[in-house]
Amino acid sequence: MPSAVPKPAAQPTNQAERKAFYKKIEKASVAPLWEVLHDLITRAPKTPCVPAIFRWRELLPWVLESGKLITAKEAERRVLVLENPGLRGQARITHSLYAGLQLILPGEVARAHRHSQTALRFVLSGSGAFTAVEGERVTMHPGDFIITPSWTWHDHGNPGDEPVIWLDGLDIPIVELLDAQFMEPMHAESQVTSRTEGQSLARYGANMLPLDYRPSRKTSPLAWYPYERTREALAGIAKAEEPHPAHAHKLQYVNPATGGYPMPTIATFMQLMPQGFSGKSYRSTDSTVFAVVEGKGRVCFGDETLHFEPRDVFVMPSWTAYSLHADRECVLFSFSDRPVQVALDLWREEA
């Protein structure tokens, strides 16, 4: 005779039996998927990150006050972290990115170190300070975008006569998620400058590459993207082309050796919106941090509006529909984790 087909186990008839079962399997670090499935796999991005703005007029006095409370040497890096209101206590401006305002006063040096996190510097205020990366010094000017690749020695100094403040952007949460964080201080306060200032710009910033170029990392070999050149490019396309309905005139910074993103985990952009521009609604899966370089305008989302002016920083979370409007001609710098999402076939946009 064929063997009898076993009968399915009787289904629990009440919550008490289920709770008893969950408690029993919990001892072995096992949990029921069906209790959390809808929170794990959602119909659309679900993030605790919220739209927020950090106003320069409010933050500047606090940044300068911090310079009276602690030295750059004591602090290692004197930075006020820009924490997203939905992520307080986590030292991040989006779920995947960190941002902060760093101050260096005349005569100060922020000692050399290196770390596995990739960093960008976007200069907001002041001139005369420098950042040195792998033996090349770059003098900072407002609007400049500067890269510190992963695991490269870098230090900052200010031989000038005015405070210099810049926006730091790092992939700290991404590296932390992967448990791949390392940091090492240099035995000396500052590294020895072994290359001429502007050497990387000469080698890689003119749509040309040295014959002996061999990539040593995925980050751009060009450490410094001066605002003067970026602004000139934006003005040129604004004269020649019609504005995009959502972004107006927007350019993406690139690695000149590959044409790809300048950093493997962070994309950077600069856009110009003519006075009176009223953008169409747009959203994408990469939460984006904006820094206002020039002009005044508004960002609208839902029933809310945030007004911005020069040096303000604001953030739009993943899949939040927003529109940009220029009361005066505006220039906006922005950065996001788009390279990671593109590499994993996750990124999408909707206009």
Q: Give the DSSP per-residue string, 70-88.
A: S-HHHHSS-EEE---GGGT
Q: Do the domain assignments include residue 148? A: yes
pLDDT tops 60 at residue 8: yes
Residue 201's domain spans which residues? 52-350
Q: For the chain, what is the mean pLDDT? A: 95
Going by pLDDT thresholds of 50, 70 and 90, the confidence category of residue 113 is very high
pLDDT of residue 2: 58
Residue pLDDT, tens place only, 35-89: 999 999 999 999 999 999 999 999 999 999 999 999 999 999 999 999 999 999 9
51-65, 83-97, 179-193, 230-244: which has the minimum mean pLDDT?
179-193
The pLDDT assigned to 111 comes to 95
Query: How many structural domains comprise the chain?
Result: 1
Q: Which residue has the higher pLDDT, 336 or 351?
A: 336
Tokens of 330: 């505006």
- Confidence at residue 95, expressed as pLDDT on a 0 to 100 scale: 96
Once rounded to an integer, what is the mean pLDDT over residues 230-242? Answer: 97
- Does some domain include residue 131? yes
Per-residue pLDDT of 133-155, as tens digits, reads 999 999 999 999 999 999 999 99
The region of weakest confidence among 5-19, 67-81, 130-144, 216-230 is 5-19
Residue 12 has pLDDT above 70, yes or no: no
**pLDDT category of residue 6 using cuts at 50, 70 and 90:** low
Q: Domain for residue 251, yes or no?
A: yes
Tell me the three state secondary structure of residue 158: coil
pLDDT the model gives residue 10? 61
Q: What percent of the chain has pLDDT over 90?
A: 89
- The mean per-residue pLDDT over the stretch 186-203 comes to 86
Q: Would the pLDDT of 232 be above 90?
A: yes
Among 83-97, 193-207, 313-327, the minimum mean pLDDT is found in 193-207
CA 257 to chain centre: 22
Residue 26 within any structural domain of the chain = no
Residue 169 — very low, low, confident or very high, per pLDDT cuts 50/70/90?
very high
Q: Tens digits of per-residue pLDDT, 284-303?
A: 999 999 999 999 999 999 99
| pLDDT surpassing 90 at residue 239 | yes
pLDDT-based confidence at 178, cuts 50/70/90? very high
Task: Output the domain CATH number for residue 140.
Answer: 2.60.120.10
The answer as to whether 309 is a domain residue is yes
Say if 289 falls within a structural domain. yes
* pLDDT beyond 90 at 264: yes
Only one residue has tokens 């926006």, namely 167
pLDDT bucket at 197, cuts 50 / 70 / 90: confident
pLDDT given at position 1: 54
pLDDT at 292: 98
The 3-state secondary structure of the chain, one letter per residue: CCCCCCCCCCCCCCHHHHHHHHHHHHCCCCCCHHHCHHHHCCCCCCCCCCCEEECHHHHHHHHHHHHHHCCHHHHCCCEEECCCHHHCCCCCCCCCCEEEEEEECCCCEEEEEEECCCEEEEEEECCCCEEEECCEEEECCCCCEEEECCCCCEEEECCCCCCEEEEEEECHHHHHHCCCCCEEECCCCCCCCCECCCHHHHHHCCCCCCCCCCCCCCCCCCCEECHHHHHHHHHHHHHHCCCECCCEEEEECCCCCCCCCCCCCCEEEEEEECCCCECCCEEECCCEEEEEEECCEEEEECCEEEEECCCCEEEECCCCCEEEEECCCEEEEEEECHHHHHHCCCCCEEC
What pLDDT was estimated at residue 291? 99
User: How far is Cα 170 from Cα 97, in angstroms, rounded to an integer?
Assistant: 6
**Predicted local distance difference test score (pLDDT) of residue 231:** 98
pLDDT of residue 14: 84
Q: Look at residue 24 and tell me if it is in a domain.
A: no
**Domain assignment present for 83:** yes
pLDDT at position 195 is 81
**For range 310-332, the mean pLDDT:** 98
